Amino acid sequence: MTTIQQLGVLTGGGDCPGLNPVIRAVTRRAIQGGLRVIGIRNGWKGLIEADAIPLDLNAVSGILPKGGTILGTSRTNPFKHPQDIGRLLQTFTRLPLDALIAIGGEDTLGVAAKLVKQHNVKIVGVPKTIDNDLSMTDYTFGFDTAVNIAMEAIDRLHTTAESHHRIMVAEVMGRHAGWIATCAGIAGGADVILIPEEPIDIDAVCELIKKRHARGKDFSIVVVSEGAQLKAGKDVVTEKSRDDFGHVRLGGIGHLLGSLIEERTGFETRVTVLGYLQRGGSPTAFDRILGTRFGVKAVELVLAGRFGQMVSLRGNQIVDVSIEAGVGTLKTVDNDLYALAKVFFG
């Protein structure tokens, strides 16, 4: 077994509150373990282009409360162009890197799993996504912050909804899974929550709203995940552009829903798309602590030579699972939780 002297760390995919706490924890624990740390800029792109900076204690000082990632990020997929893999492996030898910690979601960790399997690269993964849709971990950091931002937005939307007797539609993030919509909706007291897991029955939605109004509540809050789709009728996913991993840019369901609700119920309706506000700003205490625990554990896995593994939260324990298993299936919203949310619909 080669001794690890120099450790790389990168962040890939969408930015997410909690990334900087992980970078800080990785750097501090690695230095404590006698390693040198190199920050790779902009995800896999930085490894292809050999864009890297040394990280020491001063470089990571003061970043704990900061949103985003000091290393920068990208949605670059090195497997898209075969020559990029060669360049990426060359950077490993040139820097040199003895091991790498890759912090990312399904796409970034999917690349990590392939690099481990096909090229024997020594990688430990750290799962990240505000969508909370990775199956092998109970939570990913960033999700708690996003839910709290969305909850606060729903609280604020209540003010205008009540004062103007309007329907307020709030579109939140959630590409494949409606965790943010469900949790923020429950916490914010939404009257209808619509998620990608269950196609939208527009007649049922309008019925719920009409019933609510009939009992004297002349305003309603509807929360919808950006990835939700109508059961029948128009498809709102417009093919504006695809990223390196083939994902289309989402957005638009909130506005379509708003106009259908107004048309069918006759109630004045307004739409708010929260978008990137949910990914910005300072992480909550929960996300700072989870990021810190993940970062420390990831270095410990490196020191123990447990490559191809990723850190994960199970109950209150930080454990490790294979990266391949971690990106194998998506974690969709728990049926029981959505059933609970439905108790408060209408």
CB count within 10 Å of CB 126 equals: 32
Residue closer to ligand F6P by CB (options 143, 219) is 143
Q: How far apart are CA 76 and CA 111, in angstroms?
A: 10
CB of 44 to ligand F6P, least distance (A): 15
Give contact residues for ligand F6P (rule: CB under 6 A): 14, 75, 105, 129-131, 173-175, 226, 243, 249-250, 279
271-299: b or e for each residue (b if 16 or more CB lie within 10 Å)? Answer: bbbbeebbbeeebbebbbebbbbbbbbbb
* Cβ-based burial of 319 (10 A; exposed 0-12, middle 13-18, buried ≥19): middle
* CB distance 17 to 141 below 8 Å: yes
Q: Closer CB to ligand F6P, residue 46 or residue 308?
A: 46
194-213 as b/e, with b when 16 or more CB fall inside 10 Å? bbbbbebebeebbebbeebb
In whole angstroms, how close is the CB of 159 to ligand F6P at the nearest point?
Answer: 26
Question: Is the Cβ of residue 20 or residue 145 nearer to ligand F6P in the bound state?
Answer: 145
Quote the least distance from Cβ 32 to ligand F6P, whole Å.
32
User: Which of residues 27 and 148 has its CB atom nearest to ligand F6P in the complex?
Assistant: 148
* In the complex, least distance from residue 225 CB atom to ligand F6P, rounded to whole angstroms: 8
Helix or strand or coil: residue 125?
strand
Q: Which residue has the CB atom at the shortest distance from ligand F6P?
A: 173
**Minimum distance from CB of 145 to ligand F6P (Å)?**
12
Find, among 39, 33, 44, 47, the residue nearest to 3 by Cα: 33
Q: Is 107 a catalytic residue?
A: no
Could you say which of 15, 84, 107, 131 is catalytic?
Answer: 131
CB closer to ligand F6P out of 127 and 188 = 127
Which residues are annotated as catalytic?
Answer: 131
